[in-house]
Amino acid sequence: MTARKAIVLVSGGLDSATVAAIARDEGYEVFALSFDYGQRHRLELDAARAVVASQAIRHHAVSVIDLRVFGGSALTSDIDVPKHDHVSDIGGGIPVTYVPARNTIFLSFALAYAEVVGASDIFIGVNALDYSGYPDCRPDYIRAFEAMANLATRAGIEGHQRLTIHAPLMQLDKAGIIRRGTALGVDYAQTLSCYDPEPPNRACGHCDSCLLRRKGFTEAGIPDPTSYAGT
C-alpha cells in the first residue's frame, strides 16, 4: 500500500522538527515545505535543511516569498528583537515578532503543494505557548482555515478528498513537545529556535524564543543540545 502523503511546514525550529517526526511516525510520506521570506537571518533555512536531512525526508520545497514588501515585524524588518534574562520578563499581548498573516500565507502555500502532489493532510507546529500571543495559532483559527481550504480546491469542489489540518502540538507545552520529539528520535541539535542567531547556528540565549526553549529542556529534564553564544 502506498503511504498517504502529508505536507509538513518545516521552519528549522524545534516545534516543526517534532511535527515532522510525528507525521512520519503516523505513517505519512512527508513533503516538507519551508519558506525563504526575507528572514533577517538565513540560518533558519539552513536548519530546516538539516532537519529534513536528519529525518531522511526525501521531498523538500523551499518557496521564495517576500513579506518585507509589507513591513510590520521584527522578524522581517529593522525593529530590534527584544531580549530578556527570564521567561517571566516576556511581555503580554501580541509580540512585536508577530508577522502579519504569516501562518495564513504559509498554510495557503501548503494547500497549493497538497493539491499538486495529491496530499490531503497538512501538518503545522502551532502550539499552546504561542496561543496566548499569536492570533493565528489558536484552534478556532486552524479549524476555520480547514473549512476554507475544503472550499478552495479542486478536490473540495469535486468532493473526493477532504483536507485536514493537523496541529499535533496544540495542547503541548514546550517541555511536552521536547519529550515527544525525543521519544521519536528527533535530533534537536539540528534545530534553531533563536530570533537572533550567530553563524553557523549559535543561539543568542536571551530572545523570547531562546528563553522558552531553554525552559522547555529544563522542565523536560532533557539535556539541551543547543549551542548558545558566550557559553
Minimum CB distance to a copy of itself smaller for 122 or for 203: 122
In the bound state with a copy of itself, the residue whose beta carbon lies nearer, of 18 and 73, is 73
Residue 117: phi and psi, rounded to 5, are -90, -5
Site for a copy of itself in 90-109 (CB under 8 A): 94, 98-105, 107-109
CA angle 214, 216, 222 (to 5 degrees): 90
Grid cell of 79 as nine digits: 525593529
Region near a copy of itself per CB under 8 A, out of 47-55, 81-89, 111-119, 210-218 = 111-119
Among 3, 27, 53, 66, binds a copy of itself (CB under 8 A): 66
Pick one of 3, 25, 27, 71: the residue that binds a copy of itself (CB under 8 A). Answer: 71
Collapsing DSSP to helix, strand or coil, 79 comes out as coil
Question: d(Cα 86, Cα 135) in Å, to the nearest integer?
Answer: 24
**Interacting positions 163-222 with a copy of itself (CB under 8 A):** none
Cis amide leading into 200 (omega within 30) = yes
User: Is the CB of 32 or the CB of 178 nearer to a copy of itself?
Assistant: 32
- Write the DSSP symbol of residue 38: -
Q: How many whole angstroms separate alpha carbon 180 and alpha carbon 203?
A: 22
- Report the candidate in 35, 41, 36 with the shortest Cα–Cα distance to residue 9: 35
Angle between helices 208-220 and 174-183 (to 10 degrees): 60
Give the contact letters, 133-162, x = binds to a copy of itself (CB under 8 A), - = no.
Answer: --xx-x-xx--xx-xxx-xxxx-xxx----
The answer to whether residue 78 forms part of the interface with a copy of itself (CB under 8 A) is no
Beta-bridge partner residues of 2: none
Q: How far is the CB of 199 from a copy of itself (least distance, A)?
A: 25
Give the interface with a copy of itself as residue ranges (CB under 8 A): 61-67, 69-72, 94, 98-105, 107-109, 111-113, 115-116, 135-136, 138, 140-141, 144-145, 147-149, 151-154, 156-158
